[in-house]
Structure 1
Amino acid sequence: MVSAIDERVLLSRFEAGRQLYNACLGEAMRRLRLVKQSKLYQKAKKIKGNKKGRYAAFADANKVYKYSEYDLHTFATIVRRSWIGEHIDSNTAQKLATRAFNASQKVAFGLAKKIRFKGKSQLDSLEGKTNTTGIRWHQQALVWGSELKLQPYLKGNDPVILHGLNSRVKYVRLVRRRLNNQTRYYAQLICEGQPFIKPKNQIGSGVVGLDIGPSTIAIVGETGAKLDLFAPQLKSQEKQIRRLQRRMERSRRANNPENYNSDFVDSQGKQKKGTVKKGDKKWNDSKSYRSARSAKANLERKLAAHRKSLHGRLVHEILRLGDTIKLEKLSYKAFQKLFGKSVGKRAPGELVSHLKRLAESAGVNVVEFSTKTTKLSQTCHQCGTVKKKSLMTRVHKCNCGVLCQRDLYSAFLARFVDNDLLQVDLAHLAWSGAQALLMAAP
């Protein structure tokens, strides 16, 4: 918590940061459109078979229209000459410009369809570039200019926090979170060196195979095997969320009847509510609507935090089994289309991202291989038979005598994939010792 005076200063700076970010994002997209419309860009697209020449041609097109990260830094400096410069320092402005440029790059490379500007109170983090000026950590406090000095609440006996405080701070990120209708601020210190590893989470040795589904994960190492749901302790809150959504919809309809089309009767004779009218609209949100929206957001925040905590435990459990993790390269967007509810609740893609991040910081190698060349769920290592199975078939049963739960068997085979090919000889040698381990997996 911060004082009322400090919070007013913070609100002003977050609002100034939001407007600076939106200005930089709009300018980045304007320059990107000019680049794509230019003749240089069109010529660069036609270059085939010469990667260096193609890259240089695109770079020339970007240079002509000043579409680069550092050119956007210059634009941010110009914007700071207004009232925004009274609230945002140069380092923070450059970081905001970098964020805007990276967002436009996603559209440029086809990783996103469109950009989104930050609405009111939607920018919830600001960070510096160094720990010498701007937002910085000084004498166990967050300092930002001469007006702002925030004393944090620290758990003095937490070894993770002590390890971070004893490391050199490279830069600081200030984060705003809304918890139970209260706004809280956190200082995230980006430190130099290796992260703290608890004694119970020491990295193991050996190869671990994973088989990831929409809601389950199979883990097979040299000393252990497991088949489990993602975040099994996560409680379902679908009924509560749907109830709040209906309450919000009723409130909005009652307070904004002009924004909805008239009710109608469908072809089956059922009474249907009118849909929302197209075009720009002004919404009047009642106190009841804001209360329901806040309750829904708080419920979803708790679910996300609990899921993140459970994913963290599972990732550490995987890392304790080995220092090389092998898994199939999957499209988690396709999972969302096919298994929407399950993926929305369990978030397998989020777990993989968490695994990669912790593995990189701990020096663990994560290998993703193609499913087209391996076909682990269809292949028998002992006789070489490749047979398609429906998703309803959960047991791998072959005429040669191999019998195993399908996901666990795929995770076992994943351990012996090298250069996108299954090394059948290695799997055959390890099968006799691993068979009992897989049969006994919980």
Structure 2
Amino acid sequence: MNPNYFNENRTIKKGKKTWIFSKRYMKLKSELKELHRKQADSRKQSHNRLTNKLLTFGDEHYWEEMNIKGLQKRSKKTEISEKTGKFKRKKRFGKSIGHRAPAMFLSILERKVKTNGGTFKKVNTQTFKASQYDHKANDYKKKELRERWHVFDDGTKIQRDLYSAFLLRNSNRVGTKTNKRLCEKTFEAFKTFHDKEIERIEKQETFVLNSGIRLKSKKASL
């Protein structure tokens, strides 16, 4: 519809243009707009359902601050995979974040928590390092992403994500690090509930993705 606006190599010519669109193009554009509207409504409804469910679990909510916009940007580093020997993809989570809108979810959750008189605390991820801290050793132990369990020096195993949540729950007032004294005071009660939950998950048929928890039914079939 606009052949005069393109160079021979199919690049667009510079300068101001008045684009001409076909009726078919306008129809498809309208349909796409409607699809995006439906997707946005569905996403918002899903966020509201999930936030309402989270409100039933308690009135104290902790969030690890993240640079969500940074996760959307392509990586600037050019790296080669040790496994395949090929260049790693520079794409990150642009489409996933666009589809799921985590920032909007957190905004809805924070508003609802505060409206209901609850506490919504933001935790500094860089200083807190919840996935690395060991409150018994009072030290940081860096883990690989594939390691889904935190193992103490005495051999006690705690599911990594649940332990991180425990550490966040026992943060200091400004949310910069864990309060070791509070951890020691509440750990035994947490461990009791932790073990019961792990046992419940192992018995059920629903697989918990990236948890490292193996279902008993799957153990029997191996």
In the superposition, the TM-score normalised over structure 1's length comes to 0.38
Contact 1:382 1:402 in 2 (8 A): no
How has the CA–CA distance of structure 1 residues 291 and 394 changed in structure 2, closer, same or farther, with 3 Å as cutoff? farther
- The offset of 1:283, in angstroms, is 0.5
Q: 328, 335, 353: which one pairs with 2:71?
A: 335
* Change in 2 beyond 3 A, CA 1:281/1:354: same
Residue aligning to 1:424 = 180
Please report how far the alpha carbon of residue 281 of structure 1 lies from its aligned counterpart in structure 2 after TM superposition: 1.2
Matches within 5 A, 1:284-295: 284-295=20-31
Given that 2:136 and 2:152 are in contact with CA atoms closer than 8 Å, whether structure 1 keeps it comes out as no
Does the C-alpha gap of structure 1 residues 413 and 317 become closer, same or farther in structure 2, counting only changes over 3 Å? same
Q: Distance in 1 between matches of 2:151 and 2:15?
A: 58
Letter in 1 for 2:191: S
Alignment-mate amino acid for residue 353 of structure 1: S
> CA contact under 8 A between 2:2 and 2:19: conserved in structure 1?
yes
Distance 1:276 1:394 in 2: 50
- In structure 2, the residue corresponding to 1:285 is in which secondary structure? coil
Gaps of at least 5 residues in structure 2 are 74-91, 202-207, 209-222
Unpaired runs of at least 5, structure 1:
1-254, 264-273
Q: How many positions carry a matched residue from both structures?
A: 178
Q: 2:195 matched to which residue of 1?
A: 436
Equivalences for residues 71-110 of structure 1 within 5 A: none
Question: 1:299 aligned to 2:53?
Answer: no
Identical residues among aligned pairs (%): 37
Shift in Å at residue 437 of structure 1? 4.5
Give the stretch that moved more between structures: 340-349 or 385-394: 385-394
2:2 aligns with 256
With over 3 angstroms needed to count, the CA separation of the structure-2 counterparts of 1:259 and 1:351, relative to structure 1, is: same
Partners of 1:302 and 1:322 lie apart in 2 by: 31
What corresponds to 1:346 in structure 2?
A: 100
What is the distance in 2 between the residues matched to 1:354 and 1:320? 15
Per-residue CA deviation, residues 100-156 of structure 1 (Å, 9 max, x unaligned), is xxxxxxxxxxxxxxxxxxxxxxxxxxxxxxxxxxxxxxxxxxxxxxxxxxxxxxxxx
With the length of structure 2 as denominator, give the TM-score of the two structures: 0.71
Within 5 A, what are the aligned runs for 1:25-174? none
2: CA distance, partners of 1:288 / 1:355: 41
Rg (Cα) greater in structure: 1
Alignment partner of 1:308 out of 28, 44, 63? 44
CA contact (8 A) 1:356 1:366 kept: yes
Q: Decide whether the 8 Å contact of 2:72 with 2:97 is kept in 1.
A: yes
State which of 37, 53, 56 in structure 2 corresponds to 1:320: 56
CA deviations over 1:242-290 (Å, ceiling 9, x no partner): xxxxxxxxxxxxx112222223xxxxxxxxxx23233321110111111
Mapped to 2, the partners of 1:277 and 1:396 lie a distance apart of 58
Q: Work out the CA distance in 2 between the residues paired with 1:438 and 1:413.
A: 17
- Rounded to whole Å, the distance in 2 between the matches of 1:358 and 1:305 is 18
How far residue 306 of structure 1 moved from its aligned partner, in angstroms, is 0.8
In structure 2, relative to structure 1, the CA distance for the partners of 1:293 and 1:405 (3 Å cut) is: farther
How do 1:169-248 residues align onto structure 2 when only pairs under 5 Å count? none
Counterpart of 1:367? Answer: 121
- Distance in 1 between residues matched to 2:14 and 2:104, nearest whole Å: 35
- Residues 260 and 325 of structure 1: is their aligned pair in 2 closer, same or farther, counting only changes over 3 Å? same
Is the CA contact 1:382–1:400 (under 8 Å) kept in the aligned structure 2? no
Structure 1 SS opposite 2:72: helix
Letter of the 1:421 partner, please give it: K
Query: How many angstroms apart in 1 are the aligned matches of 2:60 and 2:71?
Result: 25
Instruction: State the superposition RMSD in angstroms.
Output: 2.1
Q: Which has the higher strand share?
A: 1
